[in-house]
Amino acid sequence: MNNPLHSFIITGPTAKMHYFIRQPDFPLLGNIDGQVIGVCDEEELITRLSQLTLDMTPTKHYDFIDVAGTNYAFYPDTMMITPLTSQQRRWSKLALIRMVNSRTNTIPGEKLYTESSFGAKRFEGVFRELIEHCRKGA
């Protein structure tokens, strides 16, 4: 399947995300059909998305979580991110760790992030560790 976003990125020097209601606080974790990506800014987000095959159906959306734990929906057909989604509004540390550990884009031999290692850590600290964990294989 040809990825329309890929050709848009290559030919569109001003390619950017559109935000409805408010922009998420970067970094972000995104779940693209089981592949979890970690990105630190909008430029990296567009680059990573251009490397994936996305379902461009108008109603299709993918979950993204910002550093505050807020859930956002990404609609690839419009390149729009919005906090208006039917999914949970906030993510817990444990739910994020389980999402990252169950992703399909792991590196062979990669160690899982331990679920018991986050007890005393703040949400932001665990989140940033998970971002780096996901970026290793990028």
pLDDT in tens, the chain (138 residues): 444 444 343 334 456 889 999 999 999 999 999 999 999 999 999 999 989 989 988 889 999 999 999 999 999 999 999 998 766 778 999 999 999 999 999 888 888 888 886 778 899 999 999 999 898 866
pLDDT for position 8: 41
- Structure confidence at residue 30 (pLDDT): 96
- Give phi and psi for 31, each to the nearest 5: -115, 105
Domain ranges of the chain: 4-135
Are the beta carbons of 5 and 57 closer than 8 angstroms?
no
User: What pLDDT is recorded for position 132?
Assistant: 93
Using the 8-state DSSP alphabet, how is residue 90 labeled? B
**pLDDT the model gives residue 137:** 65
pLDDT given at position 14:
56
Continuous H helices in the chain: 4-11, 42-50, 93-101, 123-135
| Strands, E assignment, the chain | 18-19, 28-32, 35-39, 62-66, 71-75, 80-82
pLDDT number for residue 107: 85
Q: Report yes or no: 97 and 117 within 8 Å, Cβ to Cβ.
A: no
